[in-house]
Structure 1
């Protein structure tokens, strides 16, 4: 019963987080959104060659102990019942590494793949069999392949009426 309550609590928490995630906007890195190919980045405008341009510096300064920024991507996988896991979506973020060694994920974006016709059929079978829909993420998104995973599962019948939404909290 405790395991069921834990799974239920995680599922409810994940559902709450995704509901709020579209409202999240990070302003930690003001420049270079398009350089990293992030969704929602500011479009770059190119000045006309005939017009003189003036260069202005941003009023917000970068924090001096920031050592480097890089892009990181990791995959959300899902499984229907006891089937193997397959890709269900992707996360992308900027990994900010500070000079003192600490790392922070910023500009986190999630892109969920739509169910294919085959996956829709598998989900219908889960409903009929009252089986579990499972998702997993790497337990440490900074580790190399062959890593361990965080897995969550919920009865398919619990998702059918809720629009199949996941909510994630990622600690670094």
Structure 2
């Protein structure tokens, strides 16, 4: 029954969504490493499940949390702080905290993460285009060291302002 619910792709009632969330929580707690990784990457996993899976003993499960499109900034920040091997991957997620994003080499980012970064900065389309151009140039030069933060300082005159 659970597997059938997870594969359900149509319109869901609240009870269907609740059952899916319950199954994902069950998998997060009791599943094999593969089951836990699948639950971690599923955008329907509840926040409680993401926190649980972010502390999983299996590095593949923690890595799958970073791949979840709905993972919040706080979870990404916690994963990056506790797992040096996942810091750069977490920093390229569109939901990552700005400071974490800025600490990662520009070349590691995706267009999606950079567009999201500029949206969160509240910048113009021109500034976004400049950043995407710098990203493309970093790829052309194979520049693996210049960070997003360093690039942003040149383009926008400084890193993001802290609240």
- What is the TM-score of this pair, normalised by structure 1? 0.20
* Structure whose residues are more often strand by fraction: 1
Q: Of the two, which has the highest radius of gyration? A: 1
- What is the TM-score of this pair, normalised by structure 2? 0.20
